[in-house]
Amino acid sequence: VSLLNFRRHLMLALTSCLFWNTFDMSAAMDTKPNILLFMADDLGIGDIGCYGNNTIRTPNIDRLASEGVKLTQHIAAAPLCTPSRAAFLTGRYPIRSGMASSNRYRALQWNSGSGGLPADETTFARLLQKQGYTTGLTGKWHQGVNCESFNDHCHHPLNHGFDYFYGMPFTLINNCQENKPPELDAALQAKLWLYSQLIALAVFTLTAGRLTGLISICWKTIVCFTLVGCIFFLSWYSSYGFVQYWNCILMRNHDITEQPMRLERTASLMLKEAVSFIKINRHRPFLLFVSFLHVHTPLFTTARFLRKSRHGLYGDNVEEMDWMVGKILDALDKEGLNNNTFTYFASDHGGQLDAQDGSAQLGGWNGICKGGKGMGGWEGGIRVPGIFRWPGVLPAGIAINEPTSLMDLYPTIVDLAGGTLPQDRVIDGWNLMPLLQGSVQQSEHEFLFHYCGSYLHAVRWHQKDSGAIWKAHYVTPVFHPPGAGACYDRGFCPCFGEGVTHHDPPLLFDLSRDPSEAKPLTAETEPLFDTVIRRIGRATAEHRRTLTPVPEQLSFHNMMWKPWLQPCCGTFPFCWCDKEGDSTDSL
């Protein structure tokens, strides 16, 4: 009898536990969750512990994975920041919004360019605003600022659905730190400086020859040479010699607070703003997009974390970012918001392999994946970490091995907020909640298209009935030196021209068997080769029929430095200010 009673009590307890768990989950789903999005800059999938790195310490990011869901095939829509982030914000391939380039400038180069995320694109922030969310962005934007005047802010975050912005309208580059080699269009900078010097030498020689009578030349010719030299010098000096002032600035909403920014306190300011946003908005639903400046070059790291990792400056920078993640999660916990917050962590694309300082590697590690940042369709440039946590709603400590995309965040969080997707455009992302909760076992993605700028380099086919994940490369960059894994001669792999190889038939891999893309299949080694290539070809043709012509935001004209568009906190060209003072303690 006692055994029977014990069984009854056990069944009652289990039933009660199941009821309350289901009730808690239902209650959590019925309320609008807070949305917290972390995005690293240039972080490789192999750089954090929960993805296999046992030498860089990332306990806070690892904790997110242990308390939530980890995606192992999370794919960026582009291997470079500006187009990838445009796709993330809009749920659409960047070629649909004009944020894919047909020239060698594949990311925005200036705060004073006229290109950027078009005003008619609908970001997830704008849709969440309509659902009563307070929306904030701290950190990197890199989607443009102005269109026609220095303060129209047509591309600004506040014109794209964010109620609050604190951060860089651009991105960190070497030029933001003194004594670092230039990163922004260094080849053109060198040419302008060389031409300036050559013309100056010519003017000096001609003038000396004219005065001594050794050279017979009229003064008008010398004046013309002088004017041409001045043009080259001013082009170098104005738009390149002052990059730190033009691009390395901090803004709070529409106001510039630092020009140029002081890197030694930037991380502290970003952390302070993120924690403050959570505290101020703790009593209402909020979206906070924490867009880290870490771990992009120049890898500026505060003294507290320098020389602490086993991977030099890059490892120090990753560990500092992880610490910041922990502090923001602590703020959530302090306000009692953990269980009502949908949290996400990812990188905008893979680590940069060809970022070096002499023999020192300054970029990330992409694990077993081939290639890296900027390298077309190779897996190392587009496969990124993807971690989700929502206690009581999402399972803890599981991994999902299905193809997903950064574009999937758009429909996922819009659905969680109770919104509806735009019906007047193609949305390429899918709602991930059924997959994350385990109610379905397969991703909605059948095909994913991998662009390098506006050029289609590769296509992925998730053949669901067999479990195969085929990937066909139509174009690949030429690595140099031969046998290397990056374009060390150029510093960045191109998307077209002499620096790429076109493949006909395309290179074919089955990522389910060869995730490193080491052994291309052929018609002789793979019986399904022709069938797979034809199916991918048909899907590509169908995809291209969904594309409509749009203005190219990254055209050469839109990318040019335009003085009249330069954000300036003084009177141009005397742009300098420091409104932060010593308002924050160092980390």
DSSP string, 525-581: T-TTHHHHHHHHHHHHHHHHHT------TTSHHHHS--GGG---SSBTTB--EE-ST
**What tens digit of pLDDT does each residue of 408-466 get?**
999 999 999 999 999 999 999 999 999 999 999 999 999 999 999 999 999 999 999 99
Dihedral (CA of 84, 90, 94, 99) sign: negative
- The pLDDT, as a whole number, for residue 164 is 98
Judge contact between 157 and 137, C-beta under 8 A.
Answer: yes
Higher pLDDT, 28 or 33: 33
The yes-or-no answer on residue 487 being catalytic is: no
Interval 501-523 mean pLDDT: 97
Residues 6+ apart with CB under 8 A from 435: 400, 402, 404, 441, 442, 443, 444
- The pLDDT, as a whole number, for residue 464 is 93
**What tens digit of pLDDT does each residue of 335-388 get?**
999 999 999 999 999 999 988 877 778 899 999 999 999 999 999 999 999 999
Q: Which CATH architecture has domain 34-172+248-445+558-577?
A: 3-Layer(aba) Sandwich (3.40)
Closest by Cα among 254, 350, 486 to 48: 350
DSSP 434-491: HHHHTS-SS-S-SEEEEEETTEEEEEEEEETTTTEEEEEEEEEE--BSTT-SSBTTTS
Catalytic residue among 142, 153, 155, 294: 142
The yes-or-no answer on residue 283 being catalytic is: no
DSSP at 408: G
Taking all residues of the chain, what is their mean pLDDT, rounded to a whole number?
A: 92
> Coil, helix or strand for 415?
helix
DSSP at 395: -
CB atoms within 10 A of CB 261: 25
Spatial separation of the C-alpha atoms in residues 50 and 63, rounded to whole Å = 9
CB atoms within 10 A of CB 31: 9
Interval 231-254 mean pLDDT: 84
Query: The pTM is what?
Result: 0.90
- The pLDDT, as a whole number, for residue 443 is 97
The domain segmentation of the chain, as residue ranges, is 34-172+248-445+558-577, 186-241
DSSP at 521: B
**What tens digit of pLDDT does each residue of 526-569 get?**
999 999 999 999 999 999 999 999 999 999 899 988 989 999 99
- The pLDDT, as a whole number, for residue 7 is 45
Secondary structure of 190-227 in HEC code, one letter for each residue: HHHHHHHHHHHHHHHHHHHHHHHCCCCCCHHHHHHHHH
Residue 2 binned pLDDT confidence (cut-offs 50, 70, 90): very low
Spatial separation of the C-alpha atoms in residues 568 and 502, rounded to whole Å = 45
**What tens digit of pLDDT does each residue of 35-91 get?**
999 999 999 999 999 999 999 999 999 999 999 999 999 999 999 999 999 999 999
Is pLDDT above 80 for 391?
A: yes
Spatial separation of the C-alpha atoms in residues 511 and 401, rounded to whole Å = 11
- The pLDDT, as a whole number, for residue 188 is 67
Q: Taking the mean position of all CA atoms in its chain, how far away is CA 44?
A: 11
Structure tokens at 500: 């790429």
Spatial separation of the C-alpha atoms in residues 66 and 48, rounded to whole Å = 13
Judge contact between 347 and 93, C-beta under 8 A.
Answer: no
Q: Taking the mean position of all CA atoms in its chain, how far away is CA 276?
A: 24
Higher pLDDT, 271 or 234: 271
- The pLDDT, as a whole number, for residue 186 is 67
Structure tokens at 206: 């001609």
- The pLDDT, as a whole number, for residue 458 is 98
Torsion of CA 213, 214, 219, 222, to 10 degrees: -150
Closest by Cα among 445, 295, 476 to 375: 476
Secondary structure of 142-196 in HEC code, one letter for each residue: CCCCCCCCCCCCCCCHHHCCCCEEEEECCCCCHHHCCCCCCCCCHHHHHHHHHHH
Catalytic residue among 50, 74, 81, 369: 81
**What tens digit of pLDDT does each residue of 401-417 get?**
999 999 999 999 999 99
